[in-house]
Structure 1
Amino acid sequence: MSAARKPVRMCVRCARITDDPVVVSEVHQATGPGFNVYACSTCAPHFPPVPDVLDLLEEALASRRTTEEITADSRASGRTQECESGEHDECTPMEVYESDDPAPDELPFFSITCTCHSA
């Protein structure tokens, strides 16, 4: 039996044929198999490290909040949905009264706004 043949690939950066290919990217497709992109050992350091696709998926799912969660959190905190979803950094709730000097039995009209938005 003959020895196993070494893989020969073309470098994506310099287009030279190399017998020492390094995987620099994995291309995933919706249907069918994806493919690997190779570089020679000289060009490989010019590419960023290949991320693990499952790690990227876990990060995306962990940071994703539903609209219902953002709405509930904004009502509980007294901030707008934009502030609660992280579009604004410094927001504080404001209590808005019908009059400047509310009566003791008058409940405040609590507006879900913050100082960085107009009421």
Structure 2
Amino acid sequence: MIGQVSQSYGVVGAILVLGLGGLLGAFALNKALTITYPTTEKLKTYESGVDPVGEGWAQVHIRYYLFAYLYVIFAVDAVYLFPWATVFAAVGVASLIEMFIFLAFVAVGLLYAYRKGILSWT
């Protein structure tokens, strides 16, 4: 019994050692085959073809978080509504009531967004 357990641990240990060795080998091979010539131009921060100006710190206006909140409302709505619509006939009327309750929660979120002025283009 003890021999079987220690043999099982030996297999698990061998797999872990081989996996770790393969991972470290892959990193070493990558380091050995990579050719780099760091220059000032290569080390400079680059984003979307625009040269960096000023500091890297920028404050984000709170209304962008509200746009993200609005996106989450629509994304969650789509994630639950479309699959439900495909199997509506199979699940019955009880699921219809549950879906109306869910849509009521989504409507409350949209009403909140409307009252905060997120849905206006100005």
TM range (shorter): under 0.3
Higher strand share: 1
With normalisation by structure 1, the TM-score equals 0.24
With normalisation by structure 2, the TM-score equals 0.23
Higher helix share: 2
